[in-house]
Amino acid sequence: MKILLCNKNYYHCGGVETLFLSTEKLLAEYGHTVIPFGLKSPENYESEYLKYFPSRPGKRLLKTLDSFYSIKSASALQRVIEKIKPDIAHIHNINGGLTFSILPVLKKNKIPIVATIHGFKYLCPVWEFYNRKHGVCEKCAGGKYYNCILYNCSARGLFRSILLAVDGYFRDAFLNFRKYFDYFLFVSFFTRKKFLNIFPEIENRADVLYNFTDNIENRITKPSKKNFLYVGRIEYAKGTDVLVEAFGEMGRLKLEIAGEGSLYILLKNSAKSNVKFLGRIGRGEIREKIIQSYFVIIASRVYENNPYAVIEAFASGRPVIAPDAGGIPEIVENGKNGFLYKANDINALTDSIYKAYALEEREYEKMCERALQTAKNKFNRTFHYEKLISVYEKILKAN
């Protein structure tokens, strides 16, 4: 099967790209021809198909216009189709880069489209159902994007909020995703439910397929120290500031933070000595840090759907502490493979950290075993491949 995989970035920079690149590798290992399609970047991985990637706009005006509709991307994709003739297209994140301009090209060439829905971009202009001043916010769901302007939801200011709202209206009016996507794969039942609340008509072509990992450990390694670990972006939405504040009150408990973001310098300069910032580290080193850790912590203010931080922790036999919101309660069972705390409650977070630290050795070992078993049951590559291929075959048969 010739499978066209579309995503704005062709390098690791977040959970979307982790799944996109892992899927490319997985499908190729099973003998399929996989054609990646993204934007040119010096960070891109090597591929024989890079020559087809459209360039990123350099000037600000062109960049703004291209965020709505990219003629370059549409033209580049047409060349790929004419040369390679893919059987099916699988869309990940095409917003703000490739854009929805590529969808009419796929339809014109009668190529069916499967879309993995990672977040809430099609319901919320800023992706996350979150406004920094008002907390969790779903006011834009159902096409009410003017709220993005009224509440200035973008962290980059009012002008960006206006652009994002206009983009939403433009997309819904001229490039409605429900018209183009033949099948929807959601990364959590929580996300699927949010979409079906607004678009019940897609129910029969909407399924759930969790993210997966290639790196599930065969055995559990006991950590030498009771150090906690956070892996991810260092941003307000991710609650990293709350995590640093909480550990600032727990001098004997140690936290390591791996990642970068807009709050990196501020938090690093203000953190107590028991909080260590590792900066941006490689994927292999992240894996080692997880294995060495005692617990992995998620502190997000926003809905997390199927976070790779949890998946990779479980795959290493490490339990997690995470908020009881979004898709997390689907995979983290309180007291079994980790601890859930009331979202956006620093006292509840602190209590969970102390509870984890105080676990008896046998209790902790059982929690690690259950975490690893969760990874084997829910995030293994074989199950992911089989379900993904069954979706492809179903859509190809229908078309």
Burial code (b: 16+ CB inside 10 Å, e: under 16) for 168-201 equals beebeeebebeebbbbbbbbbebbbebbeeebee
Residue 299: what pLDDT? 96
Task: Say yes or no: 64 and 190 in one domain.
Answer: yes
Domain count, the chain: 2
- Taking alpha carbons only, the member of 372, 371, 378 closest to residue 356 is 371
Task: Say yes or no: 180 and 91 in one domain.
Answer: yes
Residue 60 has pLDDT above 70, yes or no: no
Task: Say yes or no: 270 and 388 in one domain.
Answer: no
Task: Say yes or no: 257 and 307 in one domain.
Answer: yes
Note whether residue 223 is domain-resident: no
Residue 77 has pLDDT above 80, yes or no: yes
Residue 246: what pLDDT? 96
Owner of token pair 């690791």: 12
Task: Say yes or no: 321 and 283 in one domain.
Answer: yes
Pairing status of strand 135-136 against strand 33-37: unpaired
Task: Say yes or no: 142 and 258 in one domain.
Answer: no
Residue 269: what pLDDT? 96
Residue 68 has pLDDT above 90, yes or no: no
Note whether residue 303 is domain-resident: yes
Global pTM? 0.94
- Position 132 confidence tier, pLDDT thresholds 50, 70, 90: confident
Encoded tokens for 119? 């977040």
Cα–Cα distances (Å) from 124 to 134, 144, 195, 384, in that order, read: 15, 9, 11, 28
Note whether residue 218 is domain-resident: no
Query: Do the beta carbons of residue 88 and residue 4 sit within 8 Å?
Result: yes
Q: Residue range 152-156: average pLDDT?
A: 90
For 321, the enclosing helix (H) or strand (E) is strand 320-323
Residue 94: what pLDDT? 95
Query: Do the beta carbons of residue 343 and residue 325 sit within 8 Å?
Result: yes
* CATH number of the domain to which 153 belongs: 3.40.50.2000
Task: Say yes or no: 279 and 296 in one domain.
Answer: yes
Residue 385 and residue 393: Cα distance in Å, rounded?
Answer: 12
Give the whole-number percent of the chain exceeding pLDDT 90: 91
Which segment of 2-6, 219-223, 352-356 scores lowest on mean pLDDT?
A: 219-223
Task: Say yes or no: 205 and 232 in one domain.
Answer: no
Query: Do the beta carbons of residue 278 and residue 256 sit within 8 Å?
Result: yes
Note whether residue 320 is domain-resident: yes
Cα–Cα distances (Å) from 2 to 32, 44, 255, 273, 344, in that order, read: 6, 21, 45, 53, 45
- Position 251 confidence tier, pLDDT thresholds 50, 70, 90: confident
Note whether residue 6 is domain-resident: yes
Q: Residue range 354-365: average pLDDT?
A: 97
Encoded tokens for 64? 């703004």
Residue 59: what pLDDT? 58
Task: Say yes or no: 355 and 389 in one domain.
Answer: no
Give the whole-number percent of the chain exceeding pLDDT 70: 97
| Per-position DSSP letters for 220-267, written without gaps between them | PPPPSS--EEEES--STTTTHHHHHHHHHT-TTS-EEEE---TTHHHH
Task: Say yes or no: 15 and 77 in one domain.
Answer: yes
Note whether residue 356 is domain-resident: yes
Q: Which letter does DSSP use for residue 323 in this model?
A: E
Note whether residue 221 is domain-resident: no
- Position 65 confidence tier, pLDDT thresholds 50, 70, 90: low
Note whether residue 219 is domain-resident: no
Residue 155: what pLDDT? 85
- Position 261 confidence tier, pLDDT thresholds 50, 70, 90: very high
Domain ranges, residue 173: 2-212+380-398
Residue 7 has pLDDT above 60, yes or no: yes
Task: Say yes or no: 179 and 82 in one domain.
Answer: yes
Q: What is the mean pLDDT of the chain?
A: 95
What are 286-317's pLDDT values in tens digits? Answer: 999 999 999 999 999 999 999 999 999 999 99
Task: Say yes or no: 237 and 278 in one domain.
Answer: yes
Residue 193 has pLDDT above 90, yes or no: yes
